[in-house]
Amino acid sequence: MSIDATSRAPLRHLLLEGERNTWPRLSPDGRSVVFVHTTDAGPELWLHGANGARRHLISHHGETIGDLRWTPDASALLYRHAPRGRERWALSHLRAPDLTPSPLVEDGSVIEYWLSRTAPGVVVHSSRTAAGVGLFRTNLDGGTERLGDQAGFHRLLVDGDLRWRGGVRLAEDGSVRVLLGPDADSAREVLAIGVEGAADLSVQGFSHDGRRLYLLTSDGAATRRLLSVDVGTGEVSTVFAHPGLDVESYPIAGEGVWFDPVGGEPDVCAVLGQRLGYHALTPGPEPVLAGLTADPDVPGVIIDRSADDRTWLVVDVHDDAPIEYRLLATGTGVSTPLFANRPELLGRPLARLEDFGFTARDGMPVPGYAMRPRHGEPPFPTVVLVHGGPAGRDWWRFHAEAQFLAELGYLSLHVNYRGSRGFGKAFRTAGDGEWGGKMQQDLYDAVEEGVRRGLVAPDRVAFHGSSYGGYAALLAACTRPDLVRCAIAISAPCDLVALTAEPPPYWQALAVRLRHQVLQPHQGPPLDAEELRSRSPAHVLGPDCAPLLVAHGVRDPRVAAAGVDEFVSRARGFDVPVRHLRFADEGHHVRANANRRVLFAEIEEFLEVHLADH
């Protein structure tokens, strides 16, 4: 689409496009930024140079690109890529000075990779092998050495000198063991994490001297905290903990922990309640954090830091404008603008995101947000946008789908129902065993609260979600047609009985944890098969089900397309109005612009038919 055509395009058409510029990474010298630029054909890697000039590096049309990292001397850029929807990652790199592309691992087996602080021409990666997880060392100039197979580990631990230091092992009961040692045979357990704490475990890596391992978990605490494990003694100490919120940031910024690039120790942690908050762990970053943004309503989110820490890559998050990236000189506080993720939306009038918290019927405080249309008066026809996970969450941010709905005249509710992450372990584990139970009831309570406040038209409510959110939308349509006039479900699991009895291969490694989350309430006995059927759209579907729009990617490794197809066939057998979209080149998410145009055109027409006031 040309710039002139973009300027004339209706706003709702621009909102359904995917992000154009995403996942930037700062070069170690702080002068250049590489980023993913997405066209209609697919993603490409581009470089924003020191002089502001931009150039195309390589295209991966029809694929997904992620996990971009520079070698410490900027002699190469590494990244993972996979066919769209497949989630089987290859590893490639671009070599300086001309950033010539070259593949490193092409078989789609790469799990993760590590770069050396002292040997920039070497990469170590873990891959799926017949024996389990294999560890490999590759010279960027050519040649790969197999370091061995580490059977029984879910994840391997490698330090900044590319030495195997241990691994994370899943136990039969869903708990996790962290082991450290010189080799797999002599590794000793230094940390045992229960199943509830294992759900939010994230290994952050080793200190520069290799003496400490840092990780995040809520095990043994009320919130997800940053821990330090002394490699020599096994002693565990708390580096940072917030009394009510988990350590967390926006997804584009990692897990909410930043390390001093010079000394290698953690120096900043973030928590994300209704808004983002930073906590300096050392005096060094305090003045930079204080001047990170001039507007308290526009969070400045740390993305990356140069090797000398003199330059930070920051993104400014808006609710009514696209997010904008900039370089921040830490010594002077001067910012250099880079680009927006959705440049075609700059200057366009957009709706605002407001806080929408309430108390559920059992007394549980439930946080969330709402976006009302820019025009019209309440009560509004309403779409409940149900996030996935279910241990995901909604953030204060630019929300393209909500903006799209607002432009069509619909209010949207964004409910961080119990089970959502970020608000402490008790709130997250309150969702255990509550698929279709109290988590679902929180969504219904949100609608009732919106009606009470005069925002929501009670007879014009739709549910819309992907993954778990799609499941919740289907269940609402099947069991509460009195409340939900229609539902939109994308990549939705339909049958909890099948999901827990025979999880798809994608979930096999985490099958115990998945079963615990679905079957085991925080208090009380596990759910039996009868209860699971009563909470499964596939088993409660009947002729009274509200009209449905169901979309799915045929390549989805997480939710088998066959189960969704069967659900749609049975719904049509009951004469339930169903629109069914199958995308042959998508997986668990609908990413391609061409497919998004089809999907959102269908959503617009579907809501016009079933939700608009005629």
Q: Is residue 60 domain-resident? A: no
**59 catalytic per annotation:** no
Report strand pairing: 411-415 vs 368-371.
antiparallel
Residue type at position 5: A
Quote the pLDDT of residue 380.
Answer: 98
Q: Which domain holds residue 385?
A: 353-610
Number of domains in the chain: 1
- pLDDT at residue 5 greater than cutoff 50: no
Per the residue annotation, which of 467, 495, 589, 610 is the catalytic one? Answer: 467
To the query of whether residue 202 is one of the catalytic residues in this protein, the response is no
Residue 312 in 3-state DSSP?
strand
Q: Which of 159, 309, 316, 556 is catalytic?
A: 556
Dihedral sign for Cα atoms in the order 363, 369, 374, 380: negative
In a domain, 480, yes or no: yes
- Residue matched to tokens 């506080």: 333
Q: How large is the average pLDDT for residues 161-169?
A: 92
Measured at the alpha carbon of residue 270, what is the angle toward residues 446 and 358, in degrees to the nearest 5?
15
Q: Strand 368-371 and strand 353-355: pairing?
A: antiparallel
Q: How confident is the model at residue 96, as a pLDDT?
A: 83
Whether residue 451 is contained in a domain is answered as: yes
Distance CA 47, CA 98 (A): 11
Catalytic residue chosen out of the listed positions 37, 588, 589, 610: 588
> pLDDT for 504-541, tens place per residue?
877 766 778 888 889 989 888 999 999 999 999 999 99
Helix ranges, 145-254 (H): 195-198
Tell me if 552 is assigned to some domain: yes
Q: Is 259 helix (H, G, I), strand (E, B) or coil?
A: strand
What does the pLDDT look like over 64-108, one tens digit per residue? 999 999 999 999 999 999 999 998 999 999 998 888 888 999 999
Q: What does the pLDDT read at residue 507?
A: 73
Is 589 contained in some domain? yes
Beta pairing class for 358-359 and 578-583: unpaired
The C-alpha atoms of residue 178 and residue 389 are separated, in whole angstroms, by: 25
Residues 20, 501: Cα–Cα separation, whole Å: 40
In a domain, 94, yes or no: no
Q: pLDDT tens across 273-307, in order?
A: 999 999 999 999 999 999 998 788 899 999 999 99
pLDDT tens-digit readout, 528-574: 999 999 999 999 999 999 999 999 999 999 999 999 999 999 999 99
| Distance in angstroms (rounded) separating the CA atoms of residues 168 and 178 | 5
- pTM for this prediction: 0.94
Q: Residue 362 falls within a domain, yes or no?
A: yes
Is the predicted pLDDT of residue 3 greater than 60, yes or no? no
Q: What's the rounded Cα separation, in Å, for the pair 58 and 36?
A: 10
Distances (CA, A) of 207 to 213, 322, 523: 6, 36, 39
CATH number of the domain where residue 456 is located: 3.40.50.1820
Neighbouring residues of 283: CB distance < 8 A, sequence distance ≥ 6: none
pLDDT one-digit tens code per residue, 356-396: 999 999 999 999 999 999 999 999 999 999 999 999 999 99
| Both structure tokens of 254 | 């990692």
Contact between residue 183 and residue 200 where contact means Cβ atoms under 8 Å apart: no
The three-class DSSP label of residue 434 is coil
In a domain? residue 487: yes
Question: Each residue of 428-455: pLDDT tens digit?
Answer: 999 999 999 999 999 999 999 999 999 9
116 is catalytic: no
Burial of 87 (0-12, 13-18, 19+ CB in 10 A): middle
